[in-house]
């Protein structure tokens, strides 16, 4: 009996393995898969995707008056009602994630800033749209969205692409030319300070001046101090 049982079990395993091989060897109907992907995407676009877009638009209009400046304001009281709404998230009363709510508002704002109506951005699902938000610049968002659409990028690949774009932007900002004021001040400091930290002009330098040169040097130094004081005032006013 035991032998017959083992034989039967072995036969069952062989039949199962054969069935798996037959399934593995079956030709995939790519056309059917593509058609179903489009069908599911369209269904989601008509329900979930559309719903998230409407949520973002509603909050942006009713809590911030559709005003981008008000949304980005650092006034701590300007979004008290919105913060209260966010606190109710992830509950039976409001079953939506806090980050999803923030993302919905960010997408609604971006849609109003995109060039040429943001056709590529609109063609992407909310997960992809949210992944593009860290780029901030609407022109760049639309350009990267076009790449995502043309290459059919998954959300993970899109996040990687966005991270690379941000890193490249940081590098370009680092390499940008130093402003004139900073370059001038740097050169001036180098003239008055040696690499060792000692003053570049010693008592011996001063003693070699005659009376006329001393007067001229003193006048120039006072003028320099006056110019620096004016610059300091302007810098403080602009800070």
Mean pLDDT of the chain: 79
Q: How confident is the model at residue 84 (pLDDT cuts 50, 70, 90)?
A: confident
Give me the residues paired with residue 193 across strands.
Answer: 199
Contact 99, 110 (CB under 8 A): no
Domain ranges of the chain: 37-175, 180-238
Three-state SS for 126-151 is: HHHHHHHHHHCCHHHHHHHHHHHHHH
How crowded is residue 143: how many other Cβ atoms within 10 Å of its Cβ? 15
Cα distances (angstroms) measured from residue 89 to each of 50, 58, 96, 104: 19, 16, 6, 13
The tokens 């209260």 sit on which residue?
Answer: 84
CA-based nearest residue to 139, from 172, 156, 116, 173: 116
Chain segment 127-182, per-residue pLDDT in tens = 899 999 999 899 999 999 999 999 999 999 999 999 999 888 876 665 556 777 87
- The string of pLDDT tens digits covering residues 171-221 is 666 555 677 787 777 777 766 665 444 556 777 778 788 888 888 888 888
Threshold 0.75, pTM exceeds: no
Residue by residue, DSSP assigns 12-47 as HHHHHHHHHHHHHHSPP-HHHHHHHHHHHHHHHIII
The answer on pLDDT for 126 being more than 80 is yes
């Amino acid at each position: 009996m035991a032998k017959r049982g083992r034989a039967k079990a072995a036969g069952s395993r062989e039949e199962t393995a054969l069935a798996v091989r037959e399934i593995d060897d079956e030709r995939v109907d790519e056309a059917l898969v593509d058609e179903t992907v489009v069908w599911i995407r369209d269904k989601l676009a008509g329900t979930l995707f559309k719903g998230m877009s409407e949520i973002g638009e509603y909050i942006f209009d009713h809590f911030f008056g559709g005003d981008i400046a008000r949304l980005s304001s650092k006034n701590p009281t300007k979004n008290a009602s919105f913060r209260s709404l966010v606190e109710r998230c992830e509950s039976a009363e409001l079953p939506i994630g806090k980050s999803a709510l923030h993302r919905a508002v960010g997408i609604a704002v971006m849609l109003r800033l995109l060039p040429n109506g943001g056709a590529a951005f609109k063609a992407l699902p909310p997960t992809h749209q949210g992944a593009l938000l860290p780029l901030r610049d609407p022109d760049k968002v639309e350009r990267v969205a076009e790449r995502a659409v043309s290459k059919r990028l998954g959300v993970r690949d899109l996040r990687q692409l966005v991270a690379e774009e941000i890193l490249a932007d940081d590098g370009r900002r680092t390499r940008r030319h130093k402003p004139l004021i900073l370059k001038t001040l740097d050169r001036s400091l180098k003239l008055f300070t040696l690499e060792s930290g000692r003053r570049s002009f010693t008592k011996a330098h001063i003693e070699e001046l005659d009376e006329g040169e001393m007067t001229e040097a003193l006048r120039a130094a006072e003028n320099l101090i006056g110019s620096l004081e004016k610059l300091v005032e302007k810098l403080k006013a602009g800070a």
